[in-house]
Structure 1
Amino acid sequence: MTQTAIPFHFFRGGTSRGPYFRREDLPEDRETLARVLVSVLGSGQALNIDGIGGGAAVTTKVAMLSLSETTDCDIDYFFAQVSVEDGKVDFKPTCGNILSGVGPAAVEMGLIAPQGDVTRVRIRSVNTGAKVEAVLRTPGGQVEYAGEAAIDGVPGTAAPIYLNFMDVVGSATGALLPTGNLRDVIDGIEVTCMDVAMPVVVARAADFGLTGCETAEELDANSGFYARMEPIRLEAGRRMGMGDVSGSVTPKFALLAPPQRGGTVTARYFMPWKCHPTMAVTGAQCLASCVLTPGTVAEGLFTPPQGVPALVLIEHPGGAIDVTVDYETGKDGFTLKSAGLLRTARLLARGEVFVPATVWKGL
């Protein structure tokens, strides 16, 4: 046999897309696994023409599922970010949009049984240790995909999937503020380095001579911005205790500006070498936490949300995303209890995807 067949489900999860696998159907060792995923997605060419990637960072993502190794969760979710063009795989971060499809995928794969009209799936992120409860509709024991929920960045409507994130503070670094400071100055730019669901370096758009309302395409064409941003991100990663991050997609980078369309704040989120066309779910949690923490670079850009839980509406290039944050502020500063978001997902295809036997001969 010249090719190896691997069973898979292909989902849109939130505003991202990619293959979902059972972990047991893939090689155990990371080096071989990375080669397989590069081949599956077609990384190494801008259009991913020899794989099922979509030629963008939001369409070269992978979810690998298994029964959880912990007693307080049902499913372990292992994420991989495959690069579009350079044949690399990053196993460090997680992805909240792809996580939107984990509950439905777990049911479709037979890893968890439907619980009635509504199924709750307790998910552990293998990459970060975060725990998330996904609530999805399963009338008649089948995942329901049609519905009335709309999310910016996805056409039409679909069945809602509610995600409740817990234990996400210090997901990668072990601390809300990994540098120990509410603000740091790097190369003359004030930044807040925060780790909630995803480590993010947050700055004000105006400090880069930007409005913060630029389109993703305009920002990606601005080579001067990236040339200024990347050294700051690298130094921030070092200060956050993450070591040399030059080859890693974390920490991410984000710009904040005053709201323009009635939201809480305007944001542009970088992955980190391209601007996200909408907003990452994990990034939204971190930015919402930054907004709610007194003394960060977000202070003064907006009117603070009232009440707890607080609804933080983040404007992004494709519309807006809302995060409901349950938190406390006191002598110990900002304490996040949980962050909730509404997402949607849809099963697009299922079957077998093939990789050359020279890449992997199979189990």
Structure 2
Amino acid sequence: MHPEMEQIRCAIVRGGTSKGIFLRANDLPADPARRDAVILAVFGSPDIRQIDGLGGADVLTSKLAIIGPSSKADCDVDYTFGQVSFEKAFIDYKGNCGNISSAVGGFAIDEGMVRAVEPVTTVRIHLTNSGSVLTAEVPVKDGKARISGDFAIDGCPGTGARVTLDWSGVAGGITGKLLPTGKAKDVFHIDGREYPVSLVDAGNPLVFIHAASLGMKGTESPAEIEGDAALMAVIEKIRGKAAVLCGLTDAPENAALQSPYNPFFAIVSPPADYTAINGKKVRAGDADLVSRLLFMLKMHKAYPITGTVCTGAACRIPGSVAWEALGERGKQARTILIGHPSGVIPVEAEAREAPDEPGGVAVTRLGVYRTARRIMDGYVYVPKASC
């Protein structure tokens, strides 16, 4: 043990198209302020390079998973997600991360927190950020989560064992309602213009807007969107107003500081041809709608799982912005194909008529598939002065 540093068990784990630092709850201070100080030191935040920690200096790799014994009798483990800022000394716990969630079941099995059952172990995960329950079906071999397989996901090279995630129980997990405003569509008035939007909460709350409402085609790359400062300013004004309606901030102008993670912001458009950021050609027939998504004030280079889940739910709400952009095949099929900057992601989305519910529907199935694997584990050293 180094006299000037604390030694903490940790693992770096890829879940889907994201990568996170996994920590055991019992290895962290119980006091929230001290805990967050330790976590910021682990990541090397705040610093845009995170050079003095394990963070990857990217919104998709500056992610935290705290895993512990379940506080719910019907679940196997507690999972707390944190989006760690590399620009401020701030960890946003106001949401879920579906990609990182896909690695939680395998991690719990490998750590001996859940008994391995071959060929598939079902892990019930308590999402402490929202109080929801996520079910993961994890392939298992020889007592450990399987890694090898033939399932591929756009946005991650290679193939792996397919992990199935059932998000059907997460509707309204953050705001308390599938439709936070009670309506399938609202109109925001900002700077003298009208912006039709839909606010939907499933997995995480999202703001959906037509690309045309922002003067966009909808197939632009993340770099093109981020490079347009005026467009990004309008997006944040719209997102800020939505954050107030979702109860996540007290004023639109404070959303960037108080709730940079949620709500996500999805720019949707009908199916169209485009070239993904990896050079892959995506044809109009490959997808049922196209979306570009922003979170943590940055454009996502692929598509987050909670965003996928929420987009699937929104597409099942007649009259919503996402439903309006959805192609006819997607309205009829069980699985919706979402075109994103790195390719296409499927989501199983089903709903039943529910006249007494806002939007007239109740979501009954939200299923997605991912791959995941542990990359390293050992100890991270944190200067005692940081804690």
TM-score, shorter chain, exceeding 0.5: yes
1:57: Cα distance to partner?
0.6
How far residue 304 of structure 1 moved from its aligned partner, in angstroms, is 3.6
Three-state SS of the structure 1 residue aligned to 2:142 is helix
1:246 corresponds in structure 2 to 256
Whole-angstrom CA distance in 1 between matches of 2:29 and 2:332:
45
Query: Does residue 291 of structure 2 align to residue 267 of structure 1?
Result: yes
Relative to its length, the structure with more helix (as a share) is: 2
Does residue 337 in structure 1 map to residue 364 in structure 2? yes
Give unpaired runs (5+ residues) of structure 2: 273-282
In 2, the alpha carbon distance for the partners of 1:253 and 1:175 equals 18
Equivalent of residue 228 in structure 2, options 222, 225, 230: 222
| Mapped contact 2:102–2:370 kept (Cα < 8 A) | yes
Give the distance between the partners of 2:177 and 2:328, measured in 1 at CA. 24
Alignment pair present for 1:100 and 2:102? yes
CA RMSD, 1 decimal:
1.5
Q: List aligned pairs for 1:157-196, cutoff 5 A.
A: 157-186=159-188, 187=190, 188-196=194-202
1:47 to 46, 49, 55: 49
Listed one character per residue, the Cα deviations across residues 263-319 of structure 1 (whole Å, up to 9, x for unaligned) are: 111001101411001001001111111112101112432324468872111110001
Q: Which amino acid aligns with 2:131?
A: G
Within the candidate set 292, 303, 312, 2:316 is matched to 292
1:347 match: secondary structure = strand
Whole-angstrom distance in 2 between the partners of 1:29 and 1:199: 28
- Aligned residue type for 2:378: G
In 2, are the aligned partners of 1:130 and 1:165 still within 8 Å (CA)? Answer: no
Residue equivalent to 1:282: 306
What is the deviation of 1:345? 0.4
What does 1:84-233 align with in structure 2 at a 5 Å threshold?
A: 84-186=86-188, 187=190, 188-233=194-239
Identity of aligned residues (%): 36
CA distance in 2, matches of 1:165, 1:308: 21
Residue identity in the other structure for 1:259: P
Corresponding residue for 2:16?
14
CA distance in 2, matches of 1:272, 1:202: 16
Specify every segment of 5 or more residues in structure 1 that has no aligned partner in the other structure, as ranges. none
Moved more, 203-212 or 41-50: 41-50
Alpha-carbon separation, structure 2, partners of 1:309 and 1:72: 32
Is contact 1:309-1:326 (8 Å) kept? no
Divergent runs of 4+, >4 A:
305-309
Q: Which amino acid aligns with 2:97?
A: C
Supply the distance in 2 between the matched residues of 1:298 and 1:104 (Cα, whole angstroms): 33
**Does structure 2 retain, via aligned residues, the 8 Å contact 1:9–1:105?**
no
Contact 1:322 1:341 in 2 (8 A): yes
Q: Measure the CA separation in 1 of the matches of 2:307 and 2:31.
A: 29
When normalised by structure 1's length, the TM-score is 0.96
